[in-house]
A and B are shown apart, each in its own frame.
Chain A
């Protein structure tokens, strides 16, 4: 079972990038600037409105052709598509949790003469992040599932090797796919427990309405 490293690489890279995109987009949607808000809303709606697999194909086949650039290997396209897609989904969570921190908290921070940045960093975010955690855990499991798609754009991940194994010996198909499913399940298992634990954490100490 080679290809595990590729799968895990894609997973880690796209998860990190997705969180970064989520926070950037989430904050931009809350910005006071009209244009920044609209542009991010556009990005989020585009990526939420189309299917991940279509985006993957688009990044891999269409973008290099459209701009005449070489996007590099499938890794780049795969990671970008997955992270932009889930970044868009998670930015909604970032936005939602920041908005759901009670109004009084930010008023209190203003009363303490904190700057806008201090207010966000010291008061709002610590509470908002707790609310985001369980949903982030759930989306991480979704990202794990999404990494299986990169074999479709020619990356030599675990599913790709599984397919080769199957085509060399047809009677092995059930074993191969069962192993793959179990592999992904093992990958997701700690995340399931993690997101359950996060749910417990998130219930404590949040001032929400």
Chain B
């Protein structure tokens, strides 16, 4: 055991500076993924077979290839493309947002889809019977029911995303892992600074995981209750 507390305490303020960047990048990635997830879901609902097929496999491709290589592709490869390379040159932060955001948007779109599919068929029929337009049907009937149950799932993905964000250190986003590595190479000791990074992650993600679990229980109870009420009403009506 050769642990040095002096280096540990020296590294804390330096490494935690990257925390803002880490959280900022997580939020921007998540916002990107939320919006793009909608786009995927919409594209997938186009009832033309070839398009549907292409969209499905594109999503599968993005989902099953490593986000690290996707980041490298966006950061290193896109700017060297002929003709359009100039416009596709981004800063590391934007690259991270697009790369990780795109990767996670495919997961998020599945969440949306499951939410939409969980809406009872009768609701669609009822909206149709009331002569709602398509836009009305979606905004007034389907989405208000489809989205709230997905919130805990989205929260889970948020935490997973948070844990993937250090990947952005590899393309030069200055967040905690990057700072820890720099600190380590300055002192030739990676032990303390990397431990701080691990601790910071634990401190943030563990309570948020508990929070999400609580939220999930609350949601489940709420929706169960609703169903019970509906069922009891149905029973009364039938009786």
Question: In the bound complex, what is the Cα–Cα distance between A45 and B80 (angstroms)?
Answer: 42
A174 and B77 contacting across the interface, CB-CB below 8 Å: yes
Residue B97 CB within 8 A of the other chain = no
A66 and B73 contacting across the interface, CB-CB below 8 Å: no
A49 and B194 contacting across the interface, CB-CB below 8 Å: no
Question: In the bound complex, what is the Cα–Cα distance between A149 and B209 (angstroms)?
Answer: 24
A92 to chain B, nearest CB (A): 12
Question: In the bound complex, what is the Cα–Cα distance between A58 and B180 (angstroms)?
Answer: 11
Question: In the bound complex, what is the Cα–Cα distance between A145 and B76 (angstroms)?
Answer: 19
Question: How many chain A residues touch B (Cβ–Cβ < 8 Å)?
Answer: 45
Question: In the bound complex, what is the Cα–Cα distance between A58 and B196 (angstroms)?
Answer: 10
Question: In the bound complex, what is the Cα–Cα distance between A38 and B23 (angstroms)?
Answer: 31
B2 and A65 contacting across the interface, CB-CB below 8 Å: yes
B2 and A159 contacting across the interface, CB-CB below 8 Å: no
Task: Determine the chain B residues whose CB is within 8 A of the CB of A147 once the complex forms.
Answer: 66
- A181-B68 contact given A61-B190, A62-B195, A68-B2, CB 8 Å threshold: no
SS class of chain A's interface: helix, strand, loop or mixed? Answer: helix
Cross-chain pair count, CB within 8 angstroms: 121
Find residues 57-103 in chain B having any chain A CB closer than 8 Å to their own CB.
60-61, 64-70, 72-73, 76-78, 80-81
| Interface 9-mer from A103-111, A126-134, A184-192 | A184-192
A57 and B64 contacting across the interface, CB-CB below 8 Å: no
Find residues 49-84 in chain A having any chain B CB closer than 8 Å to their own CB.
49-55, 57-58, 61-62, 65-68
- A188-B206 contact given A65-B2, A176-B77, CB 8 Å threshold: no
Residue B109 CB within 8 A of the other chain = no
Find residues 158-201 in chain B having any chain A CB closer than 8 Å to their own CB.
162-167, 169-170, 177, 180-181, 184, 189-191, 194-195, 197-198, 201
Question: In the bound complex, what is the Cα–Cα distance between A51 and B66 (angstroms)?
Answer: 15
Cross-chain pairs A/B with CB under 8 angstroms, 24 sampled: A45-B206, A51-B162, A51-B164, A53-B167, A53-B177, A54-B197, A57-B180, A61-B190, A61-B191, A65-B190, A66-B3, A145-B65, A145-B67, A146-B66, A147-B66, A149-B167, A159-B68, A174-B78, A174-B80, A177-B69, A177-B77, A181-B69, A188-B65, A192-B60
Beyond the given pairs A51-B162, A145-B67, 5 more chain A to chain B contacts, judged by CB atoms under 8 angstroms and listed by A's residue number, are: A46-B202, A51-B166, A159-B69, A162-B69, A174-B80
